[in-house]
Structures are given as C-alpha cells and as structure tokens.
Structure 1
C-alpha cells in the first residue's frame, strides 16, 4: 500500500504545472511548455479525458484533461459564437403606444431566448425574402392592451388591482404556425425559454400590436443568437499546505479562499477540502507569515469548463455541437490544403 501511494504521488507530481506567486506566474524549470512539444495523435487520444462533474438545470461543469490552451479556447469560442440558435430578427410594429421607443422595443424582443431547436430549421439564405417560409422562419404575435381593472382602488401602490395587462411578459407572445409547423411542433417547443421575462410596463391606453419573425443564426453575427449565457474555463487549481496551520492562522487562511476550499477540522487544523473552486485571488499573500507555507499551482493541461445554456439546447449538447463544428472546420481546412488527413 505504501508503494502504491508513493507511485500515485510521483505520477501526480509529473503533471505539468505553473506556480502562482504573489506578482507573477512561475514556470516549472523541468517543464518547457506546450511550444516545446510535438503533436502526436496517438498520444493525444490516449491522454485525452472528458469528465462530467456537475449538472444542475441548464448549468454544466466538466473537466477536459490533455488539451492545449489553444484547443480549449477554440471550444469556448465556438460554443459562444458559432453554435446556432433561433432568435427574433424582424419586428413589424403595427401599433406601439407604450413609453418604449420602437427601436428599443425591437432590441429587447430580439434578445428573448427561444426554445426552438435550430437543428430542425434551415438558414434563411434569401435576404430579400423578409417573410421567409416554414422551413427557415418562425412567426409570433404580440397583441396586448392595458386597461383599467378598478378605478376605486385607494392605494396607488396596488397596481395589480388597478390595471389589467400593465406588465407585458414573454408569456403574452403567441406562436403562429406556418404550413406544416403546427403538426411538427407545439407552442411549448418553440416559445420563449422563460414566460416571465418582462418586456414592457404599460398604463391604460397603452397598446402593443406586433408581428415577430425568428430565424436561425450564430453569435458571430449577433449576440442574440448565442446559445449560452456563460461558457468559460480555467486551469485546475492545486493548493498544498507545506506545514500544519492551526489556531488563528487556520481561520485567517480559510478567509483567504473561496467558501469550501479550506476547512478546519475538529482539532483546529486547516486542510484543503476542494481546491477546484479556488478563484485565484492570491489573498493569502497578504499574510506573509502564512503564505510561506502555502503553495498555489495550476495544472496547465487540465481545464475546468462551465457552460450555462439559455434553454434552446441542453448544456451538454452545446459542447457536442461545438465539437462537430470544429471538426467540420478541420475537414474543410484539410480540403483546402489538398492534404490526405489519414
């Protein structure tokens, strides 16, 4: 058992690392970085690991081990700007007597995320055809008017009792099926991702009468087509305590890191509970008497990804689509180079 433990520690120490000092990043003297490594496809396939960590609602956390920063960043950029979604592109305003200007209203509506699966639609290729067709366009209507509900309410703060339809939410947007769309989808599959997104506030006499047209697009063209509210990564943190830290110093150390990173046992001794959620603040260097016993490093080929979907895709599907898109780009590049990738 001792032999196995020592072997595990030796293997762990071989991982490529960078050290986080107070004012700079220090490279490992035995590690020459990615620029010194030649690419070996078989070695890459052997070392590559994708490990799901946490999935909550539309949020996904997963690890990718064995990548270079360039490829990790390519995945991030593709997830943000090249995985397509459906979004409202055209807003036909027939009547708008609210206090929001037409341009601002159209912009707000365009940013509403839609549930519609873009993989089931085509790109709209003919820019002159504003109306589109059932294969590339979804149509919605927003017809709502604010009116008095009870003029005798004495408390002016009780607006729910006074007015009807004084708040315009995304639940008021109604889908208008085109062609065979009504047999393929239902409103819950193509409507807004959240029914309670506030579009506008109105008062009696205010009215909205709009036709909305949604098309397929990518975040590179406009941020409203991006499928994520968050797609980020960081290097896996590693924290080592070089000496037993107890008493007041243990509590000081705990406050230097994010909650859950450093804990204190029943004997009052600090220990590293979960280093992966360290936010790299380096606050520990404010306390020289403690900092000299703490070693902060990052594993430079271990990436912690966080992806938060807006609702059109499951978060894991966003990553899969990004991989497909990046693969397609590589294939096209090889064709351009007239090179046999086998």
Structure 2
C-alpha cells in the first residue's frame, strides 16, 4: 500500500498549536514526534536542508535573538540545555583567605567572589584543561596545580583615611581610601604560558569591573588568593556562560473574518504595539458583493503586521465581537531563541559552542554503538 500524501493545507495546520480561551489543542499525540500513521516520514538530509532555516533578529555582544525553523522541540531544547549546562567557562573555585577583618564572614565573601563572572581569551579557555579534585580517601588523586588548569587571582585591599578629604565630607568613598572593594581590585597573576594566551584585550578579568564585593573602614583589610578552574554549569551555576537562555514558539494569528471600524481599533489594542495594523479598505475590496468589505470603502480594517512581537495573551478571545473572527496559535517548529551571555563568549558564539558539544556527544555515541556491534 502506497503511503498517504497529505495536502499542503493539512501540513500547515499540523505546524500550528491552537491557542483557545482556556486550553491548548492540536498537540502531537503520535508515538514519535512529527510522524502520522500511514504516511512516510523517513528522515533525509536533503529534506532537512530544504526545510531548516536560521534567522537573526538581534546580534549584540551580550544579547542575541534568532530563530531556528524546521527543528523538533527535542533538538531545540537540547541546544538550550547544552548552552546553560555544558559549555565550559572559568570561575573562582578555591579561595585562600590570609586576612579578612571586614564585617563580611569568610564563607560569605568566598561565595560572593565565586559568583563574579570573568572573561578572557577564548583561545586561552580552550587551551585550559580540566582540574580534577582529590577525593577524601586519597588526597593525592586530584590534579596538581599548573598553568594549564589553574588561573591565580589576588585581592589585597586595605582601607585608610584620606588625608586630603574635606573636614565636612560625609561620603565614605571620598573620606576614605578603598572604602568600597570592587571587582576591578582583583589582580590576575599569569603563570607559565598564560601570559601568551591571556594578554592584551584577552587578559583574564571580571566582566563588570564595578561589581561591589565589600565595604571597608579604616583599619579593615582583605588579603586573599583565589584559584579559578574550568567547569560547566551542570556542576555549578557559576560556571554557566549564560545569564538566560530561553526560546518561545513563533505566534500565529489568523483573521478569519473581516474586522472593521471601531472593532478594528479595539482589536489592535488587544495586542502589543505593532502586531496589528489598521489599513483602509480599498475600492476594489468594497466593490466585491460576496465579502463583508462590501460598501465599507475607506473604513479601517485590521490586518496582521508582525506576529513576532505578540505575547499570546488571549485578550482578543475575551470579547464577544471577535468570536469566530480570529484564530490564535503557535508554530511548533519555529523556535525564537534569546541568549544573554555573561561575558566569556559573545552571545552569538554561544549557540555555535553548543553545536560543537552536541557533535562531540554524537561522535561518542557513534563510537560506542560501533563498539557494541563488534
């Protein structure tokens, strides 16, 4: 029996998840995503190439927005999870406190330092190797400290009175020296080949130099050494290279029947600005007797301009005058990604790093399958 060939209209309807006033419908209930009984859905590289698209919406250093079209939700979510949890970065892991007379406890201070995001040369990050901690049973089982697995930082700050301050000065930042300790006070001490990889603009430093670490007063001092190791977000959130990594489905708005006049203005207010536009009804449209535009030449009608900015609030479904005139949905294979980098990588590079990680996972799985078949 030859496989069924669905029509173009059926295929388009399958892409849409219907948004109803109280429910969501047209959710796939097939055994395998994107497969329907009696039809041929064999995967082919050529078919994937023809259907897959990437569209960039915003590309800034710390914030990127782009669309992946033609993917299954499982693959899109795999990229999101890899970006958050498996793309490596460097963060403070060990803190050696030699002197801390500030009001902040040692444990709290160490925790604050560990959450400061750092940046450096990506080549240097790729050159760095993993540092293995020693176990409690065997202290000598871990990695020894070296230039290729440990970055050394130091923080030595002491608060003193400012002899040049005005007698009536009340601002502690002017009254004292080093009254506020910032991330910019952390000093990088390169060792070995780190001078080659972390130099110039690619030197190892805090992403934001104005992060407040502590407040001091005369006589108080902080003196410590910190070791940064390479890690991934799956071990601790401080190693995650992103602040946020999310996606949403592309909204789909279909006006089934004309919305004219005051109803059109009200309809436009149900959506974020720019989603719905108001256009005058043309003479040709008004001349057609078999449409609801007949006799309404010059009046305003509602048209969908940019569904990308819609938040799918369902506000229009609350009003009786729009019942049966609009259908809301989302395209199940159109994923709008938003990635906000913490600074180690440019935001658009993060997704490419997730692709590399997934390729390595596939290669390991393929080798393991080959070994299993032997």
The TM-score, its normalising length taken from structure 2, stands at 0.79
Deviation (angstroms), 1:132: 1.6
CA RMSD of aligned residues (A): 2.9
Deviation (angstroms), 1:61: 1.0
Q: Which runs of 5+ in 1 are unaligned?
A: 1-8
User: CA 1:196–1:151 in structure 2 vs 1: closer, same or farther (change >3 Å)?
Assistant: closer
Partner of 2:350: 318
User: CA 1:134–1:253 in structure 2 vs 1: closer, same or farther (change >3 Å)?
Assistant: same
Partner of 1:108: 112
Which one of the candidate residues 55, 58, 62 is aligned to 2:62? 58
Partner of 1:19: 18
Deviation (angstroms), 1:163: 2.3
Partner of 1:302: 334
Residue deviations 1:84-123, cap 9 Å, x none?
0011111111111222211111111111111123212111
Which structure is larger by alpha-carbon Rg, 1 or 2? 2
Which one of the candidate residues 64, 70, 73 is aligned to 1:69? 73
Q: Do the aligned residues in 1 keep the contact of 2:16 with 2:252 (CA within 8 Å)?
A: no
| Superposed counterparts of 1:97-246, under 5 Å | 97-116=101-120, 117=122, 118-125=125-132, 127=134, 132-149=145-162, 152-154=166-168, 156=170, 158-186=171-199, 188-189=201-202, 190-246=204-260
Q: Do the aligned residues in 2 keep the contact of 1:131 with 1:213 (CA within 8 Å)?
A: no
Q: Do the aligned residues in 1 keep the contact of 2:182 with 2:210 (CA within 8 Å)?
A: yes
User: CA 1:293–1:99 in structure 2 vs 1: closer, same or farther (change >3 Å)?
Assistant: farther
Helix, strand or coil at the partner of 1:36: coil
Helix, strand or coil at the partner of 2:80: helix
Q: Do the aligned residues in 2 keep the contact of 1:17 with 1:297 (CA within 8 Å)?
A: yes
Deviation (angstroms), 1:187: 6.2
CA distance in 1, matches of 2:165, 2:143: 43
Helix, strand or coil at the partner of 2:267: helix
> How many corresponding residue pairs?
332
CA distance in 2, matches of 1:35, 1:221: 34
The TM-score, its normalising length taken from structure 1, stands at 0.86
Deviation (angstroms), 1:289: 2.4
CA distance in 1, matches of 2:205, 2:361: 31
User: CA 1:256–1:203 in structure 2 vs 1: closer, same or farther (change >3 Å)?
Assistant: farther
Helix, strand or coil at the partner of 2:228: strand
Partner of 1:6: none
User: CA 1:272–1:153 in structure 2 vs 1: closer, same or farther (change >3 Å)?
Assistant: farther
- Spell out structure 1 runs of 4+ moving beyond 6 A: 9-12
